[in-house]
């Protein structure tokens, strides 16, 4: 289940921002197992336990943890929750945090911790396993999977037969009363950040004001997807995988919605990554680094590729689910530096009244 940025959690993210300021196949399997089975001094890691704070899809992370444990003998203690709350908790815990690894859904939460100097450098060989643009430019976290924003439209409605050419169009008067929005979702803030980068803060604020005037607000992308499927609203911006999960839950026969992708280069064609980092304060550095090596290796990437998360694997040669369109045709991964820590997007969401 993807955790959502509810209004109360929005305050948690605000606290995070405030504190923040004060190659695949058997060879990859072998490398991962070797990295995970021995520390730098040659001692086995088997029997150690690492604590992973995870804001990612809980069921998929459980499958990853179980596979890692089976391969290495390293136990994984999971603490799942909203990534903003978990990042805030790490900031508050400081050096006393029990976390060894932070696995986040979006780069901003990782950037917040990175800027506070709380992350350890990822091993070079782990970083090399995925495209450089998918990880931290500073080498403090590694990209694990990707997703893209998209427009979900009620089948046969105007939003489906004439979908918006740009995400900017959704702020126009003709969308009034037809649109749904989930502004509290962690996935939505990066879209706002992209608007800030392309249209400036004033342009992004005007766009958000238009969305507020046009849209019915939903607590989560799950709720928004269900509303679109029922025809309660004609459409809304979600991450692509919500459609596939809706279809799996409702069955294809009861799914009355379609995905439309914004043109490549549009702010709405946002491709974002999830990533993982080792905490400097972690007591099990070698085992934590082994977990990151595993996540960036073929075994974990194949778990992700076949999971119900419907995310895109990042390791070259590992294919996602066959029904997913080719990611490169939708867009390129958003520049991590452009996404920043999400603070500016949060402020605009609050200033426009979309978040408390």
**274 bridge partner residues:** 145
Mean pLDDT of the chain: 88
pLDDT at position 146 is 95
When computed from its CA atoms, the radius of gyration of the chain, rounded to whole angstroms, is 20
Q: Are 156 and 139 in contact (CB under 8 A)?
A: no
pLDDT at position 356 is 84
Confidence of residue 277 (pLDDT cuts 50, 70, 90): very high
Q: What is the mean pLDDT of residues 25-29?
A: 37
pLDDT at position 292 is 98
Query: Going by C-beta distance under 8 Å and a sequence separation of 6 or more, which residues neighbour residue 252?
Result: none
Q: What is the mean pLDDT of residues 71-95?
A: 95
Q: What angle do CA 318, 324, 326 make, to 5 degrees?
A: 70
Distance CA 73, CA 325 (A): 37
- pTM of the full predicted structure? 0.86
pLDDT over 80 at 59, yes or no: yes
Region(s) of the chain under CATH 3.40.190.10: 7-145+273-325, 147-270+346-351
- Which listed CATH number (3.30.70.2660, 3.30.70.1380, 3.30.70.360, 3.40.190.10) goes with 7-145+273-325? 3.40.190.10
Percent of the chain with pLDDT over 90: 81
The torsion angles phi and psi of 69, rounded to 5 degrees, stand at -60, -45
The torsion angles phi and psi of 302, rounded to 5 degrees, stand at -70, -35
Rounding to the nearest 10 degrees, give the CA dihedral for residues 93, 190, 298, 75: 20
pLDDT at position 243 is 97
Q: Are 182 and 217 in contact (CB under 8 A)?
A: yes
CATH class for the domain made up of 147-270+346-351: alpha beta
Q: What is the mean pLDDT of residues 188-216?
A: 96
Q: What is the mean pLDDT of residues 314-329?
A: 93
Q: Which of 214, 224, 207 is nearest to 152 (CA)?
A: 224
DSSP 305-322: HHSTT-PEE-STT----T
pLDDT at position 282 is 97
The torsion angles phi and psi of 110, rounded to 5 degrees, stand at -70, -40
10: tokens are 């929005």
Percent of the chain with pLDDT over 70: 88
Distance CA 188, CA 12 (A): 16
Higher pLDDT, 169 or 32: 169
Confidence of residue 331 (pLDDT cuts 50, 70, 90): confident
Distance CA 168, CA 210 (A): 9
Distance CA 152, CA 76 (A): 36
Confidence of residue 19 (pLDDT cuts 50, 70, 90): very low
Query: Going by C-beta distance under 8 Å and a sequence separation of 6 or more, which residues neighbour residue 80?
Result: 3, 54, 55, 58, 61
């Amino acid at each position: 289940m993807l955790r959502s940025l509810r209004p109360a959690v929005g305050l948690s993210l605000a606290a995070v921002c405030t504190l923040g300021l004060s190659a695949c196949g058997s060879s990859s399997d072998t490398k991962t197992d070797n990295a995970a089975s021995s520390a730098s001094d040659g001692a086995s890691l088997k029997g150690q336990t690492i604590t992973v704070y995870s804001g990612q899809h809980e069921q998929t992370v459980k499958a990853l943890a179980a596979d890692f444990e089976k391969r290495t003998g390293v136990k994984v203690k999971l603490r799942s929750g909203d990534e903003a709350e978990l990042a805030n908790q790490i900031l508050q815990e400081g050096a006393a945090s029990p976390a060894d690894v932070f696995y986040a859904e979006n780069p901003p939460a990782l950037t917040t911790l990175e800027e506070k100097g709380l992350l350890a450098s990822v091993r070079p060989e782990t970083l090399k396993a995925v495209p450089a643009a998918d990880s931290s430019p500073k080498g403090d976290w590694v990209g694990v999977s990707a997703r893209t924003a998209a427009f979900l439209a009620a089948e046969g409605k105007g939003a489906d037969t004439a979908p918006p050419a740009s995400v900017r169009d959704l702020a126009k008067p003709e969308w009034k009363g037809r649109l749904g929005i989930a502004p509290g979702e962690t996935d939505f803030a990066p879209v706002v950040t992209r608007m800030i980068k392309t249209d400036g803060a004033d342009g992004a604020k005007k766009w958000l004001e238009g969305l507020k005037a046009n849209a019915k607000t939903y607590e989560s992308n799950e709720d928004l997807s269900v509303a679109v499927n029922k025809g309660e609203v004609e459409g809304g911006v979600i991450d692509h995988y919500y459609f596939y999960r809706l279809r799996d839950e409702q069955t294809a026969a009861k799914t009355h919605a379609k995905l439309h992708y914004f043109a490549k280069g549009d702010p709405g064609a946002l491709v974002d990554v999830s990533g993982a980092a080792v905490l400097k304060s972690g007591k099990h550095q070698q085992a934590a680094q082994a977990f990151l090596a595993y996540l960036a290796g073929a075994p974990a990437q194949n778990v992700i590729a076949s999971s119900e998360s419907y995310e895109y694997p990042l390791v070259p040669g590992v294919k996602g689910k066959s029904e997913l369109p080719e990611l490169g045709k939708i867009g390129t991964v958003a520049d991590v530096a452009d996404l920043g820590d999400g603070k500016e997007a949060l402020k605009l969401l609050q200033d426009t009244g979309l978040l408390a």
